Amino acid sequence: MIRTILATLLSHWRRQPVQLFTLLAGLALATALWSAVQAINGEARAAYAEASATIGSGRAEVLVSPTGRIELADYVALRRAGWQLAPVLEGRARLGGTWVTVTGVDVLNYPGLPVSPDDEMPVVTDLLGDGLIFAHPETATDIGDAPDLPRIRTSQAVAPGTVLTDISVAERLLDRNGALTRLIILPDQPMGLTPLADLAPHLRQEVRDPGTNTARLTDSFHLNLTAFGLLAFAVGLFIVHGAIGLAFEQRRGALRTLRALGVPVRQLALCLLAELMILALVAGTLGLILGYLIAAALLPDVAASLQGLYGAPVTGGLALRPEWAAAGLAMAMAGTLAAGARALWRMIRLPILEGAGTAGWVDAAQRNTVRLLALGLALPLAGGLAVWAFDGLLAGFALLGGLLLGAAALLPPLMSLAIRVAARFARRPVAEWIWADLRAFLPGLSLALMALLLALATNIGVGTMVSSFRYTFTGWLDQRLASDLYVNAQSDAEAETLAAWLAPRVQAVLPIRSAEFDRPDGDLRVYGIVDDTIYRDSWPMIASAPDLWSRLHAGEAVLVNEQLARREGYWPGTELDLTPDLHLPVVGVYSDYGNPSGQAILSLDLLEDLRPDLPYRQIGLRVAPGTGPALAADLTERFDLPPDAVTDNAAIKAASLAIFDKTFLVTGALNALTLGVAGFAILTSLLTLWTQRLPQIAPLWAMGLTRRQLARIELMRSLALAAVTALVALPVGLLLAWALLAVINVEAFGWRLPMLLFPVDWLRLFALALVTGAAAAALPALRLYRLPPSELLKVFAQER
Amino acid sequence: MDPPVLLTLTDLTKTYPGADRPVLAGVTLTLDRGQSLALTGESGSGKSTLLHLTAALDAFDNGEITLGDTAYSTLTDTTRAALRRDRLALVFQQFNLVPSLTVAQNLALHARLAGREEADWTAHLTDRLGLTDLTHRYPEHLSGGQQQRVAIGRALALRPALLLADEPTGSLDEATSDTVMALLLDLVAEAGSALLLATHSPRIAGLLDRQTHLSRGTLT
C-alpha cells in the first residue's frame, strides 16, 4: 500500500514539472548559499586551528630578550635550574627567491610538531641528521628550487609562508649561530623552582597568543557571513514554502480521494513526509554541489580579506568536509520541514468530505491579514526590547531579525491597502478588473514579494553600511597613516641601529613602542608617542579636552581609542587607572577602525618610565616629499632587510582598501545572489499561479482584450508590485543600516560609524527591482501572449 | 454460507453542528448481498449524508450501521479506513479521479491499495468500459462520461462487497447517463457486489432492484 500511496503522490510532480523545478531550485539555492557560507567559515576556522597548532599549543608563555637574542648559555642555565623550556629560533630568510619565516625548534622537545595522527612519524635520524623541513604545500612549491635545502615534508598544519625545522637547520638557513629568539615555557614544571626573574633578570616573560588578536574580528566576520547565509536560506525557503503549499492545495482532491479509498491518515502523513524528505535530499545534494562551487569562487577573496585585514592565515583552497555535507543536507531537510510543516499539518487535519479547490487557500491567506499585522508590529518591538534588555551581538541580530521579518509580515497588509486605495481611483473597466484581480491573487504572491522585500532591504542596509564604512575608513586612513614610511625591526637592538642611521636622513623618527598593561578589566595595549606635529595635526579625534597634546606630552594625561571609550565609558573628564598608583585623566578619544581591542596612548617618556624594558620593533618616519622610495630602497639594501620590513604609507593604504573591498565583494556577491533568489521566487509564484489565473483571464479575452494586451497587463502588474515593494524596502533598508552601524558594529567591533546616505545607490536598486520584476514576469507574459485560443476556450467548456 | 443481509442501518440519526433539525432522523433499512437499492429524494433530503455514513466517511450521532458482521460504532479511525479500503467502494458525482495518474493507474488504484489487484479482471473492466484506447491518457483529457467510467472501473476493480454511488450520472447528459448506468449495473452484477445508489432521478431509480425514498431525513 505504501508503494501505491507514494507512487500516487509522486505522480503529481511528473505532471507538474515547473512546480517540481521551482521546489527543487528554491531549496537547492537556499542550501547552496547557506552551505557556501558554511564552507567558507569551516575552511577559515580550520586554517586558524592549523596556524594555532603550528605555534605550539596555541596560547603559550615565552621568555624573550629586549635585544632579540637569547644566548645559548642562558638557555642552558635555566635548564640546569630545572625549568622545562622549548627553545625557538625564528627569523626571515629568502629561500628559492621567496621570503619565508623560518621557525627552528628542538624537535624532540617541541609541543606542536605538525604531524597528524594519520601521518607516518618522522624518525629521529630524519629530524636530526640531514634535517627535515615541514612546510605548507603552497610554501613547499615556492621554496622547492632553493639549493642546499634539507628534505621538505608538506603538512597542512603549517601556516603558509612559514617553515618549521630543527634549530640546527634554522641556524644554517638564517645564518645565526649560538642564539635563540625565544624560550617557550612548557606547561608542566617541577615544584620549587627558582623564579625566572631571579635566574634571568635580563629576559622578559610574555604571553604569546596568536589567536587572541584575530579571534574577535574573525568571529564577527564569520557571524556576519552566517547571518547572510541564514538570510539567503530564509529567502530560499519562501520559494519552497510557496511551492509546497501550492502543491498540497492542488492535491487536496487527490488526497481526499486516497482517504476515501481507505488510506489511513497516519500512513498518508508519513508518505507525505517521506515525499518531502526525498525532495529535500535531492535538492540538498544539488544545493551542496552549487554551494561548493560558490564557496570555491568566493574563498580566495575571503582568504585575502582575512589574511590581510585580520592577519588570519587562510589558504584559497577548499576542502570537501563530510561534516559540512551532512550539515548542508540536514539544513535542507530541516528547511523543507519548516517550509512544509504548515501545509502538512493542514493536510493531516483535512476532513475527507471538505470540498476541493484553491479558494480555501486564498481565503485563509486573506484571513491571515490581521495575524500578519500583529506579527509585523510585534517582531520589531521584540527585537528592540532584546537590544534594550540585553547587550551583545545576539541581541543586535535579534533586532535585525525582528526588523526584517516584521517588515516582511507587514508587506501584504500594506500592499492590500495600497491596492484598495488605487482601486478607488480606477474608472475604466479594465483598470477596475486589474486591481480586483491583483487583490485576489495577492495572497499567492505575498511570499515571493516578502522575499523580494528582504533582499532589497538587505541590499540597501548592507550597501549603506559598506558605503558609509568605506567613506569613513578612507578619510580615517588618510589621517591615521600619518608617517610616510614604516620600518619593522627584528629586535630592539636592530631598531636602535636603524633609528640611529635614519635620524639624520629624515624629518622625524617616530618610535612606535607599546606595552601590555594588566588591568582589572583585562589587558590593555598602551602605546607611547613622541611629540611631533604629525600627531597634533592629523590624529583623528572623536572627543577631546582642551590642551590635549600639551597635557599628554607632559605625561599628565592619556588618550584612549573608541573601543575602550564605548565599552568601558572612558570619555574626556574620566580617569583611567593604568596601575594601582597611576590615575590619568582621559583627554581624548580617537577612532581606531580595524582593531577589535581597547587601546591607550601616553607620552613615550612616561611609558618608558613605567616599563623600562619596553620593546622597540617599529619605527614611523616623516620624510621630505618624494624621498620615501629612495630611502626605503637604500635602507633595505644597506641592512639586508626582508622586503616587508619597510612599507610606505601609500602601499599600506592601497592594500587596506583592496582588502576592504575584497571583504565587501563577498557580501556584495551574496547580496546579488539573494536578489536573484527573490526574483526567482516571483517567477515561480507567477508560474505556479498560472493555472488559477486562466479562468480570470479567459473572460477578458472573450470580451475583446487581445492576448498581447493581457500579456502587457501581466508585465505591468509585476512591475507595479516590484515598485511598491522597493518603496517599502527603502525605509526598512535604512532602518537595517542604522541597526548595523549603531548596534551590530558597536557590539561586534566597538566603534560606531556615521550613517551616510547614498540616494544614487537607491535609484540603482529601484531600477534593479523593476528589472527583477520584469524578468520574473517575462516568461508568464510570453506564455500568455503565445497561448493558443483553444486553451482559453477550455475554461468555458463544460467538460473542464 | 454467508447470511443474505449485507448492510443494516438501524435507527440512524445525524445532525450537523449548528443545524436546527437532524439531516437523518431514525433511518432503518437493509440491503442483501448482490442486491441493488436506489435511494431517491430531493436535494438536501439526506441522501449524500446517508451514503457518507455508510461509507464510514463520517460519524453518526445515534443508531448503528452493520456491514456483514462489522458494527460501525466499534470502529476506530484506522479500522474505518481499512473497511473503506477492503470492503467498500465509492463512485462520486464529481468522479474524484487522481489527476496526476493515467487512466490505467486510476483504474488499478483502489485494488492496489487493498493489495487485491486482479490483472485479468481489471483488463476485462477496461474493455467493458470502453477505455482500452485511453489507458495512457490523464483525466483532464477525458470527457465527463469517460471520467465517470474510469471511476466506476476503479470501484469495481476491487470487487467490493458494497458499492456506494452518489448521483454517479448527475453531471452527465441523458444519453451518456443511460449508457453509464447500464454499464454500471451490468458490471456490479458481474462483480457480485451490492449497490446502494443515491439519485434524484426516478428513471434511474427504476433500473435498480429496489427503491426507497428519503424525505427530510426519514424514509417514506
What mean pLDDT do residues A492-513 have? 87
Report the pLDDT value the prediction gives residue A356, as an integer from 0 to 100: 38
Smallest CA–CA distance, residue B90 to chain A, in Å, is 8
Q: Is the pLDDT of residue A794 over 80?
A: no
Report the pLDDT value the prediction gives residue A313, as an integer from 0 to 100: 52
**Smallest Cα–Cα separation from A167: which of A103, A88, A104?**
A104
Smallest CA–CA distance, residue B87 to chain A, in Å, is 10
Residue B82 touches partner A, C-beta closer than 8 Å: yes
Smallest CA–CA distance, residue A249 to chain B, in Å, is 13
Secondary structure of residue B51 in the 3-state scheme: helix
Q: Give the pLDDT band of residue A319 (cuts 50, 70, 90).
A: low
Torsion on CA atoms A687, A786, A702, A360, rounded to nearest 10:
-10
In whole angstroms, what is the distance from residue A747 CA to residue A567 CA? 9
Which position has the higher pLDDT, A108 or A252? A252
pLDDT above 70 coverage of chain B, percent: 99
Distances (CA, A) of A386 to A123, A200, A223, A306: 58, 53, 18, 30
Report the pLDDT value the prediction gives residue A346, as an integer from 0 to 100: 79
Angle at B212 between CA B209 and CA B218, to 5 degrees: 160
Q: Is the pLDDT of residue A423 over 90?
A: no
Q: Is the pLDDT of residue B88 over 80?
A: yes
| CB contact (8 A) between residue B143 and residue A260 | no
What mean pLDDT do residues A360-389 have? 75
Q: Is the pLDDT of residue A54 over 50?
A: no
Using a CB-CB cut-off of 8 Å, the residues of chain A touching B113 are 1, 4-5, 258, 261-263
Query: Of A208-212, A532-536, A697-701, B102-106, which one has max mean pLDDT?
Result: B102-106
Distances (CA, A) of A236 to A240, A245, A411, B105: 7, 14, 18, 35
In whole angstroms, what is the distance from residue B204 CA to residue B195 CA? 13
| CB contact (8 A) between residue A266 and residue B78 | yes
The answer to whether B136 and B104 have CB atoms below 8 angstroms apart is yes
The answer to whether A216 and A68 have CB atoms below 8 angstroms apart is no
What mean pLDDT do residues A153-169 have? 77
Domain B5-219 sits in CATH 3.30.360.10: no
Smallest CA–CA distance, residue A332 to chain B, in Å, is 26
What mean pLDDT do residues A304-320 have? 56
Distances (CA, A) of A536 to A234, A528, A549: 50, 14, 7
Report the pLDDT value the prediction gives residue A656, as an integer from 0 to 100: 65
How many angstroms from the chain centroid is the CA of residue A596?
15
What mean pLDDT do residues A470-481 have? 70
The structural domains of chain A, with segments of one domain joined by +, span: 1-57+214-357, 60-208, 360-482+651-800, 485-622
Smallest CA–CA distance, residue B174 to chain A, in Å, is 15
Q: Is the pLDDT of residue A55 over 50?
A: no
What mean pLDDT do residues A534-562 have? 85
Chain A to chain B Cβ contacts (< 8 Å):
79
Report the pLDDT value the prediction gives residue A717, as an integer from 0 to 100: 84
Q: Give the pLDDT band of residue A311 (cuts 50, 70, 90).
A: low
Between A626-635, A637-646, B45-54, the lowest mean confidence (pLDDT) is in A637-646
| CB contact (8 A) between residue A4 and residue B113 | yes
Using a CB-CB cut-off of 8 Å, the residues of chain B touching A352 are 57-58
Convert the pLDDT of each residue in A216-238 to its tens digit: 555 656 666 676 677 777 777 77
Q: Is the pLDDT of residue A683 over 70?
A: yes
Q: Give the pLDDT band of residue A361 (cuts 50, 70, 90).
A: very low
Q: Give the pLDDT band of residue B212 (cuts 50, 70, 90).
A: very high
| CB contact (8 A) between residue B113 and residue A254 | no
Convert the pLDDT of each residue in B182-195 to its tens digit: 888 888 888 888 99
A164: amino acid identity, one letter: L
In whole angstroms, what is the distance from residue A709 CA to residue A785 CA? 8
What mean pLDDT do residues B69-80 have? 89
* Alpha helix ranges (H) inside B47-98: 47-54, 77-86
ipTM for the whole complex = 0.77
Report the pLDDT value the prediction gives residue B208, as an integer from 0 to 100: 92
| CB contact (8 A) between residue A264 and residue B82 | yes
Using a CB-CB cut-off of 8 Å, the residues of chain A touching B85 are 1, 261-263
**Mean pLDDT score of chain A:** 78
| CB contact (8 A) between residue B113 and residue A253 | no
Q: Which residues contact A134 (CB under 8 A, 6 or more apart)?
A: A113, A114, A152, A153, A154, A155, A157, A158, A163, A164, A165
Taking the CA atoms of chain B, what radius of gyration do you get in angstroms?
A: 17
Which position has the higher pLDDT, A765 or A522? A765
A85-95: strand order across its sheet: A151-154, A132-135, A162-166, A98-105, A85-95, A182-185, A60-64, A204-208
Q: Grid coordinates representing A126?
A: 630524519
Convert the pLDDT of each residue in A56-70 to its tens digit: 434 567 787 766 678
* Alpha helix ranges (H) inside B99-195: 103-113, 119-128, 144-156, 174-191
In whole angstroms, what is the distance from residue B189 CA to residue B205 CA? 16
**Smallest Cα–Cα separation from A757: which of A471, A384, A453?**
A471
In whole angstroms, what is the distance from residue A559 CA to residue A543 CA? 10
What residues form DSSP beta bridges with B215?
B218
The answer to whether A102 and A146 have CB atoms below 8 angstroms apart is no
To which residue does cell 533582499 refer? A455
Q: Give the pLDDT band of residue A362 (cuts 50, 70, 90).
A: very low
Q: Is the pLDDT of residue A354 over 70?
A: no
Report the pLDDT value the prediction gives residue B12, as an integer from 0 to 100: 92
Question: Choosing among B85, B91, B113, B164, which should be mutated to test the A contact, i.e. which has the most A CBs within 10 A?
Answer: B113
Using a CB-CB cut-off of 8 Å, the residues of chain A touching B143 are 799
| CB contact (8 A) between residue A798 and residue B86 | no
Distances (CA, A) of A174 to A114, A177, A184, A331, A640: 21, 9, 20, 51, 12
What mean pLDDT do residues A748-767 have? 80
| CB contact (8 A) between residue B58 and residue A256 | no
